[in-house]
Amino acid sequence: MKKLLSSLMLITLVLTLLFSCKEDDTVTPPKSAETSTYTSEVSLKWMDMQLRLFRTNPTFIGGFPPHRFMGYTAIALYEAVVPGMPTYQTLSGQLGNMPQMPQTSTTDLYHWPTCGNAAMAAMNRNFFPATTNANKASIDSLENALNATYKTQINDTITFNRSVAFGKAVAQLIFDWSKTDGAANANAAYTPPVGLGLWVPTPPALAAPFGPYWGNNRLLFVNSLSGSAPQAPPTYSTDPASDYYKMMKEVYDVSQTITPEQTAIALYYRDNPGFGGGHYLSLIKQILSKENRSLDFSAYLYAKVGIAVIDAAIGTFKSKYQYNQERPITYIRNIMSYPSWNASFGTPNFPDFPSAHSVISGAFATVLKKDLGNSYQFTNHTYDYLGMAPRTYSSLDAMAAEIGMSRLYAGIHNRIAIERGTTMGNVIGQNINNGVKFLK
């Protein structure tokens, strides 16, 4: 009997050990901490760096290259950290010809800020290959400083290297994709049409037209322009009783009664000297800083705004070169007989209708309203460093309206180009809000 009990006890012990080993073999591997557990430090610091690069590199005519750089960089950040966002999904398959992103391993650890740092460093190097040595050193310095911090957080060389490699792989795919969007052909040879009321080079620079084919660039979201085409401007006329004459006369009248506040608004959104089209990067950076949210929210909102400004600019230029409408300075000087009249500063060298500031600010405000609400209040400190007084807004719509009206105050757009441009931007923003699915 004792032998039987001993045998049973031995069998029980063996079975226990066998099952214990089986359980150990199927233990769930440790999971990476979610993106939401990290601050937005990596995104905000790289936004600051890109703003510096906009400011210290040669002026981007028309402001639209910065929109591209901002948008693609934002998408790269989002894709570098979205695997750590369980309720969010990749944008591959939703944006035009966007490649599939590299896959993360379900059994390996990743540190999402390190992934984001590698991606944003690579994107800025790619977009600014000819920047100054000082700027190149600053890019290296920021990347290294963040990595030094992240290494202490991870305390695992293999995980760190894996995270860097993933971020770089994402950036390379996004940058290669950006090179196929058509922007390289936006300034191909072009002969402007000739006729009454059509655009001609404007004084004092009399520069050739910029971006005649920018409207042919690939949209990020294929349906972003659906239903957004603006109502056509009034028919050209020299009759003082016509709508066309009246809209141009208003530009002249405003210039004769302009207030100091209106002049300040015009100059604030001149954006040169300054960031050019990077003003929207400055705005979203300030908003995200104020929100002080985690990295997942910042990456999401940054990407959505980036999509909006790229597609809004494409839609704007598609319409501009469809209508080829003259600028106010041409009509005021030649038809209204004020040959010495000038705008507050040089008129941009492309057609008037619709106002790019209005379309882009309308789209920018609309995509933000979905997440922040229209009554969102904030103060724009973009040009504090130039000694300009900050601009305070009671709502996102109020911000967009002021950005649009800045062009009337400056004398470079008429009201109809502004108002119909804002409406166009609102529709583009709504299309992106409704059509681009960030959540699963």
Assess whether pLDDT exceeds 50 at residue 433.
yes
Count of C-beta atoms within a 10 Å radius of residue 61? 16
pTM: 0.92
Question: Taking residues 91-110, what's their average pLDDT?
Answer: 96
Residue type, 421: G
Percent of the chain beyond pLDDT 90?
87
pLDDT confidence band for 11 (50 / 70 / 90):
very low
**What distance in Å separates the CA atoms of residue 227 and residue 251, rounded to the nearest whole number?**
29
Predicted confidence at residue 62, as pLDDT, reads: 47
Which residues are CB-contacts of 325 (< 8 A; sequence separation ≥ 6)?
197, 198, 199, 233, 351, 352, 353, 417
Predicted confidence at residue 347, as pLDDT, reads: 95
Task: Answer with the residue of higher pLDDT: 217 or 273.
Answer: 217
Question: Which range is least confidently modeled, 60-69, 301-310, 319-328, 409-418?
Answer: 60-69
Percent of the chain beyond pLDDT 70?
91
Task: Answer with the residue of higher pLDDT: 17 or 136.
Answer: 136
Predicted confidence at residue 29, as pLDDT, reads: 63
Q: Six-digit token pair at 70?
A: 């901002």
Question: Taking residues 134-156, what's their average pLDDT?
Answer: 97
Q: Six-digit token pair at 202?
A: 């404007």
Question: Taking residues 69-88, what's their average pLDDT?
Answer: 98
pLDDT confidence band for 31 (50 / 70 / 90):
confident
pLDDT confidence band for 92 (50 / 70 / 90):
very high
Question: Which range is least confidently modeled, 23-32, 198-207, 283-292?
Answer: 23-32
Assess whether pLDDT exceeds 60 at residue 70.
yes
Count of C-beta atoms within a 10 Å radius of residue 158? 10
Predicted confidence at residue 278, as pLDDT, reads: 87
Count of C-beta atoms within a 10 Å radius of residue 106? 10
Question: Which range is least confidently modeled, 20-34, 163-177, 400-414?
Answer: 20-34
Predicted confidence at residue 133, as pLDDT, reads: 96
Assess whether pLDDT exceeds 50 at residue 2.
no
Q: How many residues does the chain have?
A: 440
Task: Answer with the residue of higher pLDDT: 275 or 440.
Answer: 440
**What distance in Å separates the CA atoms of residue 79 and residue 64, rounded to the nearest whole number?**
23
**What distance in Å separates the CA atoms of residue 440 and residue 94, rounded to the nearest whole number?**
12
**Domains, the chain, ordered by start:** 35-183 (no CATH), 189-435 (1.10.606.20)
Q: What is the mean pLDDT of the chain?
A: 92
Characterize 28-57 residue by residue with b for buried, 16 or more Cβ atoms within 10 angstroms of its Cβ, and e for exposed.
eeeebebbbebebebbbbbbebbbbbbeeb
Which residues are CB-contacts of 241 (< 8 A; sequence separation ≥ 6)?
none
Q: How far is CA 139 from CA 49, 120, 216, in A?
A: 7, 10, 32
Instruction: Report pLDDT digits (tens) over 179-224.
Output: 999 999 999 999 999 999 999 999 999 999 999 999 999 999 999 9
Predicted confidence at residue 5, as pLDDT, reads: 40
Predicted confidence at residue 13, as pLDDT, reads: 40
Predicted confidence at residue 275, as pLDDT, reads: 73
